[in-house]
Structure 1
Amino acid sequence: MNENTNRKAVDLTQDALSASLNRRGHAAFNWDDIDPIHLPNGVISKMYRIGCPKDPSSPTVFRVFYPPECLIEAHTHECDYTEIILEGTQKVGAEWHSAGDIRLGLANRGYGPLLAGPDGVTVLFIFKDGRWPAKTIGNNDGSSLHSDVIAQSIA
Structure 2
Amino acid sequence: MTQIRPATAADVPLILRLVRELAEFEREPDAVEATEPMLEAALFGERPAAEAVIAELGGEAVGFALFFQNFSTWTGKPGIYLEDLYVTPAARGAGVGTALLRHLAGLALDRGCGRFEWSVLDWNEPAIQFYRAMGAVGMDEWRVQRVAGDALARLAGL
| Structure-1-length-normalised TM-score | 0.28
Structure with the largest fraction of strand: 1
| Structure-2-length-normalised TM-score | 0.28
Larger relative contact order (C-alpha < 8 A, sep ≥ 6)?
1
